[in-house]
């Protein structure tokens, strides 16, 4: 399947074929795990990365080739869980902004590396300065913002920024910390695969690895070991494509996984309704992008009229198989980010489909119809434009078909263009489009969520490649609010800035959000309970370390 940000092409997989597949799948005999000790013997997880020929690599900064064990061996100062975006104290117990350029973390006492050595503030200082020296490892880009990192005393680390650094908090907090007593002896950490007994502070230690299975085991000296009720996590190499993996999932061979399944209820839930569950938390905001340099898209009245023109429910039910939820016009991902919404916003900013209202709003704005029912522009000519969508993104094409039909019902002539994904991305970046889909937001850096699509510094003239503002939105008030969000460490000021940006999204409509991309997550409660879900969304399924602290033996 084609993978893209916050979504995958929906390819129809024949369930009957999958159920007829036989032979070794790699996890037979591993489905059951029982214990009388109040612990879960093991859980089977999905793939462990590393490509088609994985090799032992537990360097947490080599994103392209590292194996999943690194995600449970190393930890960060704060854990910003990606559903509600709350910053959970982790290796740091707290943080404080001394001034807009100075951030001080208080380091947790009593933490040990899994080789028994104490974890200290000096390890944090060493880690960040190593990333400065070997900048290819700085995958979070923190040294774009930082000027220095220094341990100050036994339990404090002071981060000094070149400019006010509020917008870099999530990046700094998320850097994985490594031990100075190990990594200071590594001549070139950019090639260090850390393959033998990697030393970290995390809940798990490496147990074994072969090309078929990666096993990590509980770290008994972990600083919050009392919350870890799983003795082993077993990651299993995916093989033979989607059908084999779906068969394993349906048979209960995975305790959790994250894959697209065509009919998740039939293929998975109905096989064991008591134990098989899924929760697809909302991710990035998938929106209608309009080229704001062109008429009629340069008219706010036209754009605002279209907010009720699109049948979101049909898109969700038919094009997205009911797996996703309607996006808020605010640009925020709700309900997880609801705390950032201004008070009094009806239905958290969701705007329902109302073709009659769209028709009236267009007419009231001066876009009348002629005797043939064609919608006319301000120049008196019938409105006609193209909707570009990558032809291989089957679900996006299906969604575009629905939206085009909605526009045609309003008397607008819309032609569908289906370029390749690469050509579509190039056209969107250079402004060579009328209407298309774009994705923004979904993360926990509120500045980035709004600056990427709306910051005038990130756009470019038509024909030139925009950094991220591909709609060509240019508005001094937006830039002023983004500036506040970028530099102020004060939460009240940040929320006031976000409220202003939400107002711009709602009333000036630079883009029209349609749905949230799904974060695939399936889980089995046969052995373990406490998985995140819609009723208990303490994190999304991708927040592995947080999830691990919540799991308990089934029935306990």
Are 287 and 277 within one domain? Answer: no
Domain annotation covers residue 49: no
Domain count, the chain: 3
* Sign of the Cα pseudo-torsion (194, 197, 200, 205, in order): positive
- 22 in any annotated domain: no
Residue 440 lies in a domain: yes
Whether 378 and 230 share a structural domain: no
Q: Render each residue's pLDDT in the chain as its tens digit; 556 residues.
A: 343 444 433 333 333 333 333 344 445 445 555 556 899 999 999 999 998 889 999 999 999 999 999 999 999 999 999 999 999 999 999 999 999 999 999 999 999 999 999 999 999 999 999 999 999 999 999 999 999 999 998 899 999 999 999 999 999 999 999 999 999 999 999 999 999 999 999 999 999 999 999 999 999 999 999 999 999 999 999 976 688 999 999 999 999 999 999 999 999 999 999 999 999 999 999 999 999 999 999 999 999 999 999 999 999 999 999 999 999 999 999 999 999 999 999 999 999 999 999 999 999 999 999 999 999 999 999 999 999 999 999 999 999 999 999 999 999 999 999 999 999 999 999 999 999 999 999 999 999 999 999 999 999 999 999 999 999 999 999 999 999 999 999 999 999 999 999 999 999 999 999 999 999 999 999 999 999 999 999 999 999 999 999 999 999 8
Claim to verify: residue 275 and residue 286 sit in the same structural domain: no
Q: Is the domain of 493 the same as that of 537?
A: no
Same domain, 236 and 122: no
Residues 162 and 269 in one domain: no
Is residue 431 assigned to a domain?
yes
At residue 460, the 3 state secondary structure works out as coil
For residue 67, tell me if it sits in a domain.
Answer: no
CA distances 30 to 45, 234, 250, 255, 277, Å, are 11, 10, 14, 10, 19
Q: What is the CATH number of the domain that holds 527?
A: 3.40.190.10
CA atoms within 13 A on the CB side of 298: 7
Q: Are 373 and 479 part of one and the same domain? A: yes
Q: Where are the alpha helices (DSSP H) in 99-166?
A: 121-133
Is the same domain home to 255 and 308?
Answer: no
Q: Do 311 and 358 reside in the same domain of the chain?
A: yes
User: Based on the domain organization, do 299 and 372 belong to the same domain?
Assistant: yes
Let me know if residue 497 belongs to a domain: yes
Distance CA 546, CA 532 (A): 10
Q: How far is CA 295 from CA 83, 292, 329, 438, 529, in A?
A: 38, 8, 22, 19, 54
Q: Same domain, yes or no, for 339 and 484? A: yes
- Distance between CA atoms of 334 and 502, rounded to whole angstroms? 13
Q: What is the CATH number for 315?
A: 3.10.105.10
Is the distance from CB of 398 to CB of 392 less than 8 angstroms?
no
Last residue of a domain, one of 184, 216, 238: 184
- Which of 184, 218, 252 is the last residue in one of the domains? 184
Q: Residue 178 belongs to a domain with what CATH number?
A: 3.90.76.10
> Are the CB atoms for 213 and 234 separated by under 8 Å?
yes
The reply to whether 528 and 441 lie within a common domain is no
Residue 195 lies in a domain: no
Is 166:489 a contact under the CB 8 Å cutoff? yes
Distance CA 502, CA 415 (A): 31
Helices 491-507 and 446-454, packing angle to 10 deg: 30
What are the b/e assignments for 265-297, b being 16+ CB within 10 Å? eebbbeeeeebbbbbbbbbbbbbbbbbbeeebb
Is 328 part of a structural domain of the chain?
yes
Pairing of strands 281-290, 435-440: antiparallel
The residue from 128, 152, 184 where one domain ends is 184
Note if the pTM is more than 0.75.
yes
Range of the domain at 127: 75-184
> Considering just the CA atoms, what is the radius of gyration of the chain in Å?
25
Peptide linkage before 309 cis (omega within 30 of 0): no
Distances in whole angstroms, Cα of residue 363 to Cα of each of 90, 217, 308, 366, 416: 56, 65, 14, 5, 24
């Amino acid at each position: 399947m084609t993978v893209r940000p916050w979504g995958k092409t929906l390819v129809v997989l024949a369930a009957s074929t999958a159920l007829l597949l036989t032979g070794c799948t790699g996890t037979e005999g591993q489905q059951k795990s029982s214990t009388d000790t109040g612990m879960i013997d093991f859980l089977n997880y999905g793939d462990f990365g590393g490509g088609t020929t994985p090799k032992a690599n537990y360097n947490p900064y080599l994103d392209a080739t590292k194996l999943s064990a690194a995600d449970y061996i190393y930890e960060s100062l704060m854990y910003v869980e990606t559903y509600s975006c709350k910053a959970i104290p982790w290796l740091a117990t707290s943080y404080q902004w001394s001034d807009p350029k100075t951030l001080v973390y208080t380091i947790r006492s009593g933490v040990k590396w899994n080789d028994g050595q104490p974890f200290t503030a000096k390890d944090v200082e060493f880690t960040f300065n190593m990333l400065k020296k070997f900048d290819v490892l700085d995958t979070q880009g923190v040294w774009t913002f930082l000027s220095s990192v220094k341990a100050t005393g036994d339990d404090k680390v002071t981060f000094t920024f070149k400019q006010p650094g509020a917008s870099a908090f999530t990046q700094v907090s998320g850097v994985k910390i490594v031990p100075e007593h190990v990594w200071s002896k590594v001549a070139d950490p950019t090639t260090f695969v850390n393959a033998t007994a990697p030393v970290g502070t995390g809940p798990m230690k490496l147990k074994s690895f072969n090309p078929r299975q990666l096993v990590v085991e509980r770290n008994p000296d972990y600083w919050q070991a009392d919350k870890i009720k799983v003795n082993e996590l077993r990651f299993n190499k995916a093989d033979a494509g989607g059908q084999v993996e779906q068969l394993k999932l349906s048979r209960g061979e995975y305790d959790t996984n994250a894959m697209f399944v065509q009919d998740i209820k039939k293929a998975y839930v109905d096989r064991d309704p008591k134990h098989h569950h899924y929760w697809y938390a909302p991710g990035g905001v998938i929106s209608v992008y309009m080229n704001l340099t062109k008429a009629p898209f340069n008219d706010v009245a036209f754009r605002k009229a279209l907010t009720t023109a699109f049948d979101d429910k049909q898109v969700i039910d038919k094009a997205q198989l009911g797996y996703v939820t309607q996006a808020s016009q605010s640009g925020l991902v709700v309900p997880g980010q609801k705390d950032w919404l201004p008070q009094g916003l009806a239905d958290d900013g969701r705007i329902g489909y109302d073709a009659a209202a769209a028709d009236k709003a267009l007419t009231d704005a001066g876009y009348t119809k002629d005797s043939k029912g064609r919608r006319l522009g301000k120049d008196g000519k019938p409105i006609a434009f193209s909707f570009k969508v990558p032809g291989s993104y089957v679900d996006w094409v299906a969604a575009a078909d629905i939206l085009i039909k909605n526009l045609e019902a309003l008397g607008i002539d819309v032609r569908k263009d289906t370029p390749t994904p690469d050509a579509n991305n190039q056209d969107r970046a250079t402004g060579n489009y009328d209407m298309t889909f774009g994705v923004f937001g979904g993360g926990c850096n509120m500045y980035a969520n709004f600056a990427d699509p709306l910051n005038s510094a990130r756009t470019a003239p038509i024909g030139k490649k925009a950094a991220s503002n591909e709609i060509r939105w240019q508005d001094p008030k937006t830039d002023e609010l983004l500036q506040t969000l970028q530099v102020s460490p004060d939460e009240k000021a940040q929320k006031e800035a976000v409220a202003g940006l939400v107002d711009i999204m709602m009333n000036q409509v630079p883009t029209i959000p349609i749905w949230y991309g799904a974060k695939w997550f399936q889980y089995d409660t046969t052995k373990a309970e406490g998985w995140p879900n819609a009723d208990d969304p303490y994190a999304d399924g991708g927040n592995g370390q947080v999830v691990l602290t919540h799991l308990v033996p089934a029935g306990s």
